[in-house]
Structures are given as structure tokens and as C-alpha cells.
Structure 1
Amino acid sequence: MVVFMKKTKNYQNIEAFLRNHGSLPLKRYSYSDIKKMTNSFRHKLGQGGYGGVYKGRLLDGCYVAVKNLIDSEGNGEEFINEVASISRTSHVNIVTLLGFCFEGLTRALIYEYMSNGSLEKFICEKDQSQTNHSLKWETLYQIAIGIARGLEYLHRGYFGLAKICPKRESIVSMIGVRETIGYIAPKVFSRNFGTVSHKSDVYSYGMMVIEMTRGRQSNNVGVDNSSELYFTQWVYERLEVDEELGLQGISNEEDKERVRKMIIVSLWCIQTNPSDRPIMSREVEMLEGSINSLQIPPKPFLSSPRSAPRDSSINLLS
């Protein structure tokens, strides 16, 4: 009875909190609305570390992507604060939040639907003849810059992984990030690496760029293609002696320069010591600047030989 009264009081507090945020440019949906728009969660688009993403359709016919959050903790005020913060973002490289659901234990976010799908299907598809090579290196390079610009924008308001971690903790539940472990900075799992900060996002960005380049690895280069660790070590050694990287689809000198920039920047991003990782604004400068101004970073220490599980909803705010 005491527990029920406590939950009821918390719920009343959140409802009052929502009324005070009545000017939010978002629509609040009920759980019933969510079930209707997703046809009872029938069409799953992907699974991220914090929940499944489902295709939905609004009454006006517009398609949306609904992220049903799992393992939600707290009384909901932090979630609503995050919704209020995200609703104020506006950037060409960030998917738009259209609405949310807060009802009982249900927490869901409704985003605009990206008809081209996730980046993952373009960089991890086994049948490279149909998908990977449909994106030229110039396009992948521009995607890397666009994502970096989006993160730079979010970091100005200090969004990112540091916002979802309790301030008193430096470890995120392994259950909560089970689908995206390969993209998570070491310090998220161990206090020995420091506290979670925006540099954790930098690490994740670097691992994503590594995946973008590893997806174009030739089959005859003699390196284990099952692990980011082995690929990273291999490509670093190639950079040190200025050898060809052996990646598919490089057709001219401009491509060679783009690929080299992407790899050097990604290696800087995954440095073990967070203070050695450049901030996102610097990452953008490095990608857009001259290749001659880039220095090869110290060899990063990656402790896990295990490949990251595929996250089929790779995008900036998924």
C-alpha cells in the first residue's frame, strides 16, 4: 500500500511537471496511441541498446519511428527533462523528435521516419555488390562529417551519454547497453578509466567510423575481418609505414585522402585516455582540413578481441 501511494504521488508530481511544460512543441501520446500507430509493434526496424525501434503511422498518414524504451528507472522526471531538452534541438544532421509517451511504466519517443533506413545496412551488409558499393567513399566521408557536426551541436548543450548516466555512477548497466557494447567507451564499464563525459560520445563516434571503413575491407588483405580490434591494429600498422590500406572502392587520389582522414580521425577518437580524444569541433576541423596537417595518434589500446554485436538502429539519436 505504501509502495502504491508512493508511485501514485510520483505520478502526480510528473503530471504537474508536464502541465508546467505545456509549451513543449511535442505531442504526448498514450500507450493506446502507440499500439495503434505501430499496429501492436508489428514492424520492427531495429534494436538499440535502450530499446526496440518500430515503424509507425500517424492518423495523417505520416510515417514515424517509435522507440520503446526499456529498463526505465526513476520517477520519470529525468525522462521528461530529457524530452524537453531534445525538443529544443534543431539541426540538419539530427533526426527530429515529434512526440513522446509517458504512461505508467511506458516511456517511448516518436521520431520522424528515415525512409533510407539505418547506416548499418550500408556498411555491414554481407552482399557488398548490392549495398556497400552503392555508397561511394565521397558519400561515406560526407556522412562521417555530418554525424560529427550533429554531435558537435549536441555537445554544445552537453547532450550525449553523460546525460543518461546517474551523476553518482560511472558505470552503465551492462543490460542497458548490451546491443551496442562495441561502441561504448571503456570508462563506461570501469571506474579505472574515469567518469562518463562527452568524450564517451567521441569514442563511440570513432568506433562507428572504424566500422564504416572496415565494411570496405578486401577479402584478400590477410586480416581477421570479424573484429574491430584486429582491423584497428592492422590498419594502424599500415598507416605507420604509409602502405596502401587495401580497402575496396578507392578509385582516385581524393578517395585515398578521404579514407586516410577518416581512419586517422577515428584512431584519435578511440584513444584510451579521454583527455587525448579531440572534442567534436576539432574532429570536424580534422575531417575538413588538409591531410598534411594530420598526425598519426599513439596506438590505441583496445582490450576486447570480441566483435561488437550489430546494432541495426545506428543513428544519431536512436
Structure 2
Amino acid sequence: MVPVELKGGFSNQTIKDVHYKELLKNGFRLKWDILTNKSCSVCRESGGRCGRSHDTEFLCYCPNGASHSSICNSGGKLKARSLLKKGALGASISAFGVAIIVLAYLCRHKISKQKSMIIGSKKMKKSHKFVVNFENRGILVTRRYSHADIKRMTNSFKEKLGEGGYGCVYKGKLPNGLLVAVKILSRLKGDGEDFINEVNNMSRTSHVNIVKLLGFCFHKTKRALVYEYMPNGSLEKLIYEENYFKLGCGHHGWDTLYQISLGIAHGLEYLHKGCNSRILHFDIKPHNIFLDENYCPKISDFGLGKICHREKSTISLLGARGTLGFITAEVFCRNIGGISQKFDVYSFGMTMLEMVGGRKNIMTEAERTSEIYFPHWIHKRLELQEELGLQNVTSEGDKEKAEKMVIVGLWCIQTNPSIRPIMSEVVDMLRGGVDFLRVSPKPYLSSPSRSSPTTSMSMVV
């Protein structure tokens, strides 16, 4: 059924009471607007066809033969399609969100991996550069061990020989049966500068009074140094009276102490003058001097060492180096003088005086105030030409060696570095006769000022 609009003159507004002949004769106009409205569109979306009932009401004719006033199946299909569309849209949005999250994770993982590769590459380059550095200079490269090798030679770090600020030293054995000392550096600063310094410095040396470096381990964070084994340990165990009871031994005699001091002097003379480049040790002390089976001294622990050119008399030094009691005054007071080889001379002098006294140079628990600082006490006895009061002096030879070590040691610890002898002069003084040595000026005990450690120094007379 189609609605029509009749011309004027007819009383009825529909075609059911009008003769077709009259209708066709007079003409009529179809009215389609209702079939193109929103209801018809919704009907078509539900699968139906738009139409009208006999009483001109809109109907939606469905495929199953039924008709409805609005849409087919009371809106079921439309609702299902709407839900389907909404579900599809939600799924698309969810999938897009998941894709974004996965993409972000992959990008972040890739960036992190690239950073890790860059860092790893830098470490690999540094390690490679570290080893190649020796080869380019024509220096014989010591053997490089893996961490597994280090663990094997020390029997899983079974026997500890000692411990210091750097880490621990363990006794080990190479496959050929040679005993070694393995130093594990577990407390590295920065990029392991101390480790690199030690290998670099020791690879330049070859002297009877320098500990021989047999190999090293440089793997990721693992650092180890393999030295020749020193059966008599460090010098500090030998010289201090407090250790005699622990070790079940006594004073080793003045000839032994004299030969040890002369050997240390030879070793330092070699570092300062005999190497291709001058090496300043910066940490000479009894703890870093080791003794082989014949009590031949060997200088070790070059972690704080610094290589300098021969033509330079002084070097720049950032921050204090060394151990308290063995550090020179010029480190804290630059007005006294620059940092030079005289630093090691001072440390050697303090070491030799501790060998003479059989005690630390500074002992706050001493019974008398005059004995707190040993260099002052022994210097006063020399000035007054009194007996030195040292242990185990049983002959004129012992007395001469002890007195010679005292006088040379006092010259080495002078506050003004220009007054201190260089190591070649120290060797000559120790070798010469005691009668040709004059007593040095009184040494001063120096320590950094608490208020300004880099510009001033407190003096104790």
C-alpha cells in the first residue's frame, strides 16, 4: 500500500472509497516521505522491507512473512548486530593497546640491550687496550690467567697469607709446582686504576729487590695478581718486638737488618734511576716489603705508584697517597716543596728507623713523653753522644751498622725535601763508613692540619 495525496473536491483522503477511473482521470500525487524516514532505515537494517498497512500505518515486512510496526524480530537482529559491532570495536581497541604495550616493551628491551652492549663493548675495549698497551711498548707481557685458573691454583682460596686495604693474599701453586702468592683485589676504586697501575709498573721492572709479577687475571669484575712466593712474609712481622713472641723468634741481628735496608735502598734506586721511566712507589713501608728464603728484601704493592718522566723533577698529585706515618710534609704543605722522588726517600727513612727501634715510630702509649716519637728520642742520643740503647748490639760491627742506619734514616726524614738525599746517595751512605757521616738536623713530626689539609701543616717539635 502506498499513500497518495488527492486533489481537492474529494471528501475522503484515501483511495479506498474512490473509483479508480475518477482517480486516474483526475490524477493523484504519491507521498513517499514516510517511507524514507528514520523508521524505514532502521527496518532495512534489521533485514526487513518498508511498507504500510491498510489503515496507512507503517509496517516493516520481514523475510519470514511476518510484519512489525518498527523492525524485524522485535529488534533482536539489530541488537545483536549492534553488540557485534561494539564487541568488534572493543576487541580492536584492546588489541591495539596490547600491541602498543608490546611494542614499548620491545623498544625498551632493545635500548637496554644496546646500552648493555655498549657498556660491555667499552669494558672489552678497555680490557683489550689494557693488554695491548704492553705489547705496543715492546714489554714482555706476563701471563694472563682466567678466574678459574686463579681458583684452581689457590685451591679455592684455602690458605690466606695476609690482608690489606686492597683485599687478600692467598698461597697458591702453579701446575709446575712453583709456589706463588695470589693477591685478590676486591676493594677497587673507580675503574680499577690501582690494579692497572700495579701491572703496568711491575711489567717495567726486573730487579732482585723487586717482587716478580708472574701473571694477572683481568676478567669482568675479577682482578688478581700472581707474584713469586715470599716464604718469610712481610718485613713488619720480622722487625717489631711485639711479634717476636707470636712468631717464636727474637731479634734477627744487625747484619740481617742492615742488609735488608741496603737491599730496599737498591730497589728504590732502581725504580728512580734504573728503569726506562722513573717509577715513584708512594707507599714504602714494612708491610709492603717482602722477604724471600734468604731474607732478601723485595719491594711490592705498586698500586699507588706513578710513572714520571726523568726530566721532570716534580709531579702533580691529586689527593694524598701513602700511609700515615710514612707520608711526607710536602703532600700537605706545597710551600715546602713539590712532590718528587724524595717522597719515597722519606718513606724509606721512616721504615729504616722502625727497623732500628723494633717498634712504630709513633707510640702514644710510651711510658715517657720523650719516647713517643722515636726519631726525636734517637736523635737526642746521637747529639749527646750517648749509647743508643738498642737491643742485641753485641759487637763494634753491630754498633756501627745500627748507628749508620740511624743517621741515614734521620737524613731521609727531613721535613725540607731539598735536604733529603736521593736514593743513590742513600746507597753510598749506607755502604760508606760511619765516621764520614754527620748527624742531621733535628727532624720534625709533621701531620696535616685539620682545618686545611692541602695548604698547611702542624709541626710538633
Q: Same fold judged by TM-score > 0.5?
A: yes
**8 Å Cα contact 1:56-1:63 kept in structure 2:** yes
2:444 aligns to what SS in structure 1?
Answer: coil
Alignment counterpart, residue 217 of structure 2, candidates 84, 97, 101 = 101
Change (3 A) 1:56 1:137: same
Q: Any residues of structure 2 matched to 1:170-209 within 5 Å, and which? A: 170-172=318-320, 180-188=323-331, 191=334, 194-209=337-352
Aligned to 2:421: 278
Superposed CA deviations along residues 231-275 of structure 1, whole A, max 9, x for unmatched, are 211111001111001111111111111111101111111111222
Aligned equivalents of 1:266 and 1:224: distance in 2? Answer: 24
Aligned to 2:121: 8
Aligned to 1:131: 249
Alignment counterpart, residue 160 of structure 1, candidates 280, 293, 316 = 280
Per-residue deviation, 1:224? 4.5
Superposed CA deviations along residues 56-82 of structure 1, whole A, max 9, x for unmatched, are 222222211112235434546885465
Aligned equivalents of 1:76 and 1:224: distance in 2? Answer: 44
Per-residue deviation, 1:213? 0.9
Per-residue deviation, 1:37? 2.1
Aligned to 2:399: 256
**8 Å Cα contact 2:166-2:185 kept in structure 1:** yes
Per-residue deviation, 1:210? 1.0
Change (3 A) 1:29 1:142: same
Q: What is the number of equivalent residue pairs in this alignment?
A: 294
Amino acid at match of 1:171: G
Aligned equivalents of 1:94 and 1:228: distance in 2? Answer: 34
Aligned to 2:455: none
1:42 aligns to what SS in structure 2?
Answer: coil
Aligned to 1:26: 142
RMSD across aligned positions (CA)? 3.2
Aligned equivalents of 2:261 and 2:229: distance in 1? Answer: 20
TM-score (norm 2): 0.57
Per-residue deviation, 1:190? 5.6
Amino acid at match of 2:249: T
**8 Å Cα contact 2:214-2:226 kept in structure 1:** yes
Higher strand share: 2
Q: Any residues of structure 2 matched to 1:295-314 within 5 Å, and which? A: 295-303=438-446
Aligned to 2:170: 54
Superposed CA deviations along residues 193-246 of structure 1, whole A, max 9, x for unmatched, are 5543321111111111111111189xxxxx649998522111110011110011
Unaligned runs of 5+ in 2: 1-111, 283-303, 308-314, 361-365, 448-461
Per-residue deviation, 1:145? 0.5
Change (3 A) 1:140 1:226: farther
Larger gyration radius, structure 1 or structure 2? 2
Aligned equivalents of 2:237 and 2:397: distance in 1? Answer: 25
| Alignment pair present for 1:146 and 2:263 | yes
Change (3 A) 1:20 1:164: closer
Aligned to 1:220: none
Aligned to 1:72: 188
**8 Å Cα contact 1:213-1:263 kept in structure 2:** yes
Per-residue deviation, 1:99? 0.7
Amino acid at match of 1:284: V
Amino acid at match of 2:228: E
Aligned equivalents of 2:236 and 2:257: distance in 1? Answer: 12
Change (3 A) 1:240 1:198: same
**8 Å Cα contact 2:280-2:306 kept in structure 1:** no
Per-residue deviation, 1:302? 0.8
Unaligned runs of 5+ in 1: 218-222, 305-318
| Same amino acid, percent of matched pairs | 53
Superposed CA deviations along residues 7-47 of structure 1, whole A, max 9, x for unmatched, are 63143133144246456341111223223322343322223
Aligned equivalents of 1:48 and 1:238: distance in 2? Answer: 35
Change (3 A) 1:15 1:181: same
Amino acid at match of 2:326: Y
**8 Å Cα contact 1:98-1:110 kept in structure 2:** yes
Per-residue deviation, 1:132? 3.1
2:170 aligns to what SS in structure 1?
Answer: strand
**8 Å Cα contact 1:272-1:301 kept in structure 2:** yes
TM-score (norm 1): 0.80
Change (3 A) 1:35 1:13: same
| Alignment pair present for 1:41 and 2:157 | yes
1:89 aligns to what SS in structure 2?
Answer: coil
Per-residue deviation, 1:170? 3.8
**8 Å Cα contact 2:188-2:194 kept in structure 1:** no
Per-residue deviation, 1:164? 3.2
Query: Relative contact order (alpha carbons < 8 A, sep ≥ 6): 1 or 2 greater?
Result: 1
Aligned equivalents of 2:124 and 2:217: distance in 1? Answer: 14
Aligned equivalents of 2:416 and 2:226: distance in 1? Answer: 36
Per-residue deviation, 1:125? 4.3
2:270 aligns to what SS in structure 1?
Answer: helix
**8 Å Cα contact 2:201-2:305 kept in structure 1:** no
Amino acid at match of 1:160: L
